[in-house]
Structure 1
Amino acid sequence: MFIKENFKMALDSIFANKMRSFLTMLGIIIGIASVIAILAVGNGAAKEITGTFSDLGATTINLTANDSDDSNAALEQEDLVVLKDSIEEIQYISPNQQISGTASTEMDSRQAVVSYGTPDLQYLSQTMSSNLIHGRYFNQIDFDENNSVVVIDTDGAEALFGRTDVVGETLSVNITQTRLDLRIVGVVEGSFADMQGAFDADQIPLFMAMPQSTVGQQVPQLAGMNSVIIEVEDTEQIEPISNQIVRLLELRNDAVGENIYNARNFLQALDQVNNVLSLFINFIAAVAGIALLVGGIGVMNIMLVSVTERTREIGTRKALGATTKTILIQFLMEAVILSLIGGMIGLTLGILLSNVIASALNIVPIYTLGSVGLVLAFSTAVGVFFGIYPARKAAKLTPIDALRFE
């Protein structure tokens, strides 16, 4: 009954001065709306970013080697064969090598990015599609026999020949002042046709792939490999397989404890990205939360004004038997209710605002029970903290001094 009466008196006081109460809550409303919107949109954007990257390489391992003798041959083709034969969970494995050059035909000449690796490169390349439109990808025979073959995409075929079905045609590629005459064995789906409208067609490089063995034979300085892409079957296997790869290579090459090999899986990088994004989002939310402190100061100021205006009322209540504790709880509850009402309005406004922003950015806002509960708890704490001083001031008034107040 005691709490119910104080609650009713607090509400009566708040609604008796609606405009003043609203202005008092405004800082809290803005602060909570900002924090909720930032957290929801930020978490949604983070999930979108990490989800996209995860889809691209959630089962990918990037194997690198740093040879102590500064040799370019830190990894050998035999190492790749042993890894694939020894670890059955490995689906694809290929060097991750690229170099720029100039591709030429009788029709045109364009800048090109040449990727080279094993036949598994078809499924591991991040610059070329694996979807064949014409012909085939270079195979193990091409790799073993160092055949001068190449796979290009439809964008390159259109640029160099004016058509896409160019299997059997030849082109030349100049790499590090070495000319390679190559026969086209396949054409894959183009990946950059949608960029034609934003850039001049001549500014977009062509993309092609060829056997690493062919590049190494004709351009010896490119024969070595120190970076390899490996794809495993699922993400649950990726961490133990990464460790197994390193141990196997160290044992095979008598390099235990030399830290030459590093198998870094994508999930490790993804965790770092998540940590950075979370830190950034929480920092921005904390900055927005400063408005809550400003709102709390507003609550304290208005409650002090309320105490001054209601001094005679306090004196009358004390003269009729109200205790110091009763007065303290009455004014403290009023401050808390102001903060809670502001918190609920801010929460509603924050949800609406985050949905509008997320819709404009084409992402899905993410609301967590923890963040909503934390924000509302913080708004309550603001009411308690900034309401204590005015409530104590009101409670300490003596009946005689209060009744004399003009």
Structure 2
Amino acid sequence: MQFREIIRQALYSLGANRLRSALTVMGVAVGVFSIIGVMTALEAVNKSVETGLTSLGANTFQIQKYPATVFGSGHRRNQYINRQDITYPQALVFRKTMEGKASTIGFMLSSQANQAKYADRTTNPDVVLTGGDENFSASNGYPIEKGRNLTTNDIRYATNAAVIGSELAATLFTQGENPLNHSIRVGGEVYRVSGIFAKKGAAFGQSQDNFLLIPITRYLNHVKESGSINITVEASSRKTYSRTLDHAVGSMRITRGLTIREPNDFEIRTNESLIDSFRDIERAISTGAFIISFMALLTAGVGIMNIMLVSVTERTKEIGIRKSIGAPQNSILRQFLLEALILSLAGGLIGAAAGTATGNLVALQFNLPPIFPLLWITISMAVCSAIGIGFGLFPAWKAANLNPVEALKGK
């Protein structure tokens, strides 16, 4: 029998039991969907992490109260919550002790979900209000596009000057309108726009341009009296990075009054620590996805074997007739193997398509271009082929070795 005829017979046999075939296909699709969806989403997040790390320069690190991510029990989370805030006076002492040991040291303190108003225009309540010093722009990689940066006098006298992000400027002011020296209102406070930051783009799916920067002293006096300061330290070069980091840890321990036996009660956030945190999350999610996929595909493989055994039983007379008129064993073997392979590959293709689409929904949230996980799709198709052949081999062998006389009797 020609291979094309074997394919036609296999498709006809599967089509004769559409519901049973569809349920078997969906079992394979679920397993492939889980792994493709997760891996596509992780690839999207991974690219977002790489983009987001540009917010910390190669020679920059941050000192803050909380780690970048917190895993573990409630006791461990309480450990961070119960830490003393890094206060503004402490930050000033830290800067004094680090004189000559770092290129720039900037302070910042932020609050989320603010609404900005100008004239009759109002933003969504998603504006970030940041209190910072004159070094915020340099230490956090925010160049000024128009106007001026905050000055030491703005910080000393807690002026109402504000430098706004490009997205906030585009929302509040019409095209061609110059925002400089105009007053905007946020949370009952009025700020005069002194400058506009250059566009920075999104990181981790969040805009980095929908915010306004005001003097940290005004923030503490008029917005929020308490809060933990984030300190951004920039080393003068990559060669001095490690030395600057060591000096910063020592200086912060002295500033916080820690003894030699007490552990650090603050966190150092570096590009490496962010990558390590993401890798921990990635490994945990990947492991879970592999376990789910393995169980789903194993169940689907058993389903394929079951449907093929049932098919052999139902088609005993058909097999007997074919063998009685000279059909070779390998022809029958190939047909039943092909039916199992078609079921498995059909499920794999459906799962891969659905998983890729779902993963790209995550990529869309991170403002990333569409992702096509060719490697994982190829691996999934290879695994589906192995499942189809592996679990279809016994039913196919059983069909090929039926005694034609007994098969014609329907036994």
Pick from 291, 306, 322: which aligns with 1:297?
Answer: 306
Deviations 1:274-321 (A, max 9, x none): 34654675577568645554333222221333445434776999xxxx
Pick from 14, 19, 23: which aligns with 2:12?
Answer: 19
Which consecutive residues of structure 1, in runs of 5 or more, have no partner in the other structure? Answer: 1-7, 193-205, 318-325
Equivalence for 1:338: 339
Equivalence for 1:249: 252
Which consecutive residues of structure 2, in runs of 5 or more, have no partner in the other structure? Answer: 66-79, 202-209
Is the Cα contact below 8 Å between 1:35 and 1:286 reproduced in 2? yes
Where do residues 4-403 of structure 1 align in structure 2 (5 Å cutoff)?
Answer: 15-16=8-9, 18-22=11-15, 30-32=26-28, 36=32, 39-40=35-36, 42-58=38-54, 60=56, 61-65=61-65, 70=84, 73=87, 75-80=90-95, 82=97, 85-86=100-101, 93-98=106-111, 114-122=129-137, 130-133=143-146, 135-143=147-155, 145-153=156-164, 155=168, 164-167=178-181, 184-188=193-197, 207-216=211-220, 218=221, 222=225, 225-229=228-232, 245-246=248-249, 249-250=252-253, 253-256=257-260, 257-264=262-269, 265-275=273-283, 278=286, 282=290, 289=297, 291=300, 293-307=302-316, 309-311=318-320, 334-344=335-345, 363-368=370-375, 372-388=378-394, 391-392=397-398, 395=401
Deviations 1:107-127 (A, max 9, x none): 99999864212223236779x
C-alpha displacement at 1:22, in angstroms?
4.9
How does the TM-score come out when normalised to structure 2? 0.60
Equivalence for 2:70: none
User: Structure 2 CA distance, aligned partners of 1:243 and 1:336?
Assistant: 64
How does the TM-score come out when normalised to structure 1? 0.61
Equivalence for 1:198: none
Aligned length: 363
User: Structure 2 CA distance, aligned partners of 1:236 and 1:332?
Assistant: 67
Is the Cα contact below 8 Å between 1:94 and 1:230 reproduced in 2? no
Q: Structure 1 pair 240/27, CA: closer, same or farther in 2 (3 Å)? A: farther
Q: Structure 1 pair 354/70, CA: closer, same or farther in 2 (3 Å)? A: closer
Q: Structure 1 pair 294/44, CA: closer, same or farther in 2 (3 Å)? A: same
The structure with the largest alpha-carbon Rg is 1
Secondary structure of 1:76's counterpart equals: helix
Q: Structure 1 pair 404/270, CA: closer, same or farther in 2 (3 Å)? A: closer
User: Structure 1 CA distance, aligned partners of 2:114 and 2:43?
Assistant: 37
RMSD value over aligned CA atoms?
5.6
User: Structure 2 CA distance, aligned partners of 1:40 and 1:92?
Assistant: 43
User: Structure 2 CA distance, aligned partners of 1:268 and 1:166?
Assistant: 41
User: Structure 2 CA distance, aligned partners of 1:63 and 1:234?
Assistant: 18
User: Structure 1 CA distance, aligned partners of 2:16 and 2:246?
Assistant: 60
User: Structure 2 CA distance, aligned partners of 1:29 and 1:102?
Assistant: 50
Deviations 1:186-218 (A, max 9, x none): 3447999xxxxxxxxxxxxx95322224545x4
Secondary structure of 1:365's counterpart equals: coil
